Amino acid sequence: MPNLLASATKRLAGAASRTLLASADLAARGTGTPNPFDVTRIVLEELSKSDASGADFFNEVQGRVHAAGFRWSCGTCACGRPAVEDEITPCDACQNDD
CB 46 within 8 A of CB 60: yes
Task: Please state, in angstroms and as integers, the Cα–Cα distance from residue 78 to each residue in 49, 50, 84, following that order.
Answer: 36, 37, 13
Residue 44 lies in a domain: no
34: preceding bond cis by omega (within 30 degrees): no
Residue 81 lies in a domain: no
The tens digit of pLDDT for each residue in 42-63 reads: 898 898 888 888 888 888 988 8
pLDDT band at 86, cuts 50/70/90? low
Q: Which domain holds residue 17?
A: 1-33
Counted domains in the chain:
1
